[in-house]
Structure 1
């Protein structure tokens, strides 16, 4: 009788193991919490990957918040987050400041992206050169008729200076020339898109994952912000999207990063409108 009970116990245990493997919800038996903060561009990638990772690992809790790339990097330096999302590379001064306090800002590249220049759909303009974009944002050009468009005031919409998107645009499009006084400064990609949608004369810029039919993307130097052009490096305003950690990720954070870089994770990157790093 005892032998029968033991055999039944083993059989039930084996069935339980098989069931766990099949439902995918005990992947590595992971437990713990991860806090992520930073870039609003990286935010949808972080949210989508966190949701799926928690579905696979019910005992894991991942908190995701925005705030801008500078905030994400700062939170790593302050040990208030395990992952700092950034749509730009860490600055030399940030790396040095972190190192002075024993923090190693480690760059984990999770996606590729392009920063599209957007206008309202009623705008007749379809292409802008980098020089024209610079002249618009520095205030040298103030009316669309100066560029062959309608007689309409140009409404300049830019990201705030804590934004990684702003940093890349500032370097690659504006060549480090300051945005003119009086420009509308917004805190997120969504806010930039909304501002352009609501103002016929507006111009702004946003990551690929935020583009929709409410705005029109113009070519830059006659080059479209497409996946092939961004991967090839021909589109002039492109970038890597990052998740910074304090040193190489370990433990639960490492498992989460490996998931993002897996085929499944990179599919989620593409679903959010961004470009997988394996392209």
Structure 2
């Protein structure tokens, strides 16, 4: 009888050990995969950070997917992503249950076709253009030609921030052309003489001209000094406390090494950064 009890005790111990080992394997497997989903503006930055992080941590796999800021919030809240990314400030409701880590800052550039003679707009003029009150370039010192207004899709962090800065809220704009990505907006503006659009400043290429806003161009110095008004944060979102791998990746992103990667990342891999910037400042 005593031997039987010892035998049963051995089975229980082995079973518990098996559960412990299985848990350790599962936990290690979960910690070794970090999925990042959200803003297309943050995507290239996240990809650059992930690439270097995986070099230093070969046992960790980091995947990065784009979409928009709303997708980033929904994905991290639902648990389908380890980290959500946004390129705008969150509302109180959106931020509930989420930890926010600002990894950088980006400005929004207003762009036109290189042939457009207008070099700068005031915020009032820009606001009136995107409300349809100004519809011809001659109204702002340009040629007698209708303005083709291009906006981003609903849910885009770039659009939400742009409208929040200009109007204090989102504005229905059903009569304008919609570009579903930063690159489509730039492409449309580059081939349309009378077009105007807005994109991440760090995604600019040589096919477009950047407008000054209130005579101030989006240079690094003007952005840092707050002279240029169209700018927004780049944020990583984590639900709850995350785990050791997520925490370590966040810490890496915020470290001097990670910040150097953020600051050096070209959002558009085809960009030479030799775009035309106009304005007084």
TM class by smaller structure: 0.7 to 0.9
Aligned pairs for 1:177-216 within 5 A? 178-216=171-209
In the TM superposition, what whole-angstrom CA distance separates every residue of 1:17-38 from its partner, at most 9, and x where no partner exists?
Answer: xxxxxxxxxxxxx960011100
Map of 2:86 onto structure 1:
86
Please give the alpha-carbon distance, in whole angstroms, between the structure 2 residues aligned to 1:81 and 1:177. 27
In the TM superposition, what whole-angstrom CA distance separates every residue of 1:112-160 from its partner, at most 9, and x where no partner exists?
Answer: 1111111111101110011111111111111111111112221111111
- Equivalenced residue count is 238
Shift of 1:177: 6.2
Q: Does 1:154 align with 2:147?
A: yes
Please give the alpha-carbon distance, in whole angstroms, between the structure 2 residues aligned to 1:106 and 1:176. 24
Q: Does 1:271 align with 2:261?
A: no
SS at structure 1 position matched to 2:66: strand
Compare CA radii of gyration and give the structure with the larger one.
Answer: 2
Please give the alpha-carbon distance, in whole angstroms, between the structure 2 residues aligned to 1:221 and 1:128. 6
Shift of 1:201: 0.8
Map of 1:45 onto structure 2:
45
Given the superposition, is the C-alpha separation of residues 248 and 235 from structure 1 closer, same or farther in structure 2, using an over 3 Å criterion? farther
Q: Which runs of 5+ in 1 are unaligned?
A: 1-29, 275-279
Given the superposition, is the C-alpha separation of residues 230 and 273 from structure 1 closer, same or farther in structure 2, using an over 3 Å criterion? farther
Please give the alpha-carbon distance, in whole angstroms, between the structure 1 residues aligned to 2:241 and 2:103. 14
Please give the alpha-carbon distance, in whole angstroms, between the structure 2 residues aligned to 1:74 and 1:198. 35
Match of 1:122 among 115, 123, 135: 115
Map of 1:231 onto structure 2:
224
Please give the alpha-carbon distance, in whole angstroms, between the structure 1 residues aligned to 2:107 and 2:133. 25
Q: Does 1:244 align with 2:230?
A: no
Please give the alpha-carbon distance, in whole angstroms, between the structure 1 residues aligned to 2:170 and 2:73. 24
Please give the alpha-carbon distance, in whole angstroms, between the structure 2 residues aligned to 1:248 and 1:151. 57
Of 243-252 and 106-115, the range deviating more from structure 2: 243-252
Map of 2:14 onto structure 1:
none
RMSD, aligned CA: 1.7
Aligned pairs for 1:14-163 within 5 A? 32-95=32-95, 99=96, 104-163=97-156
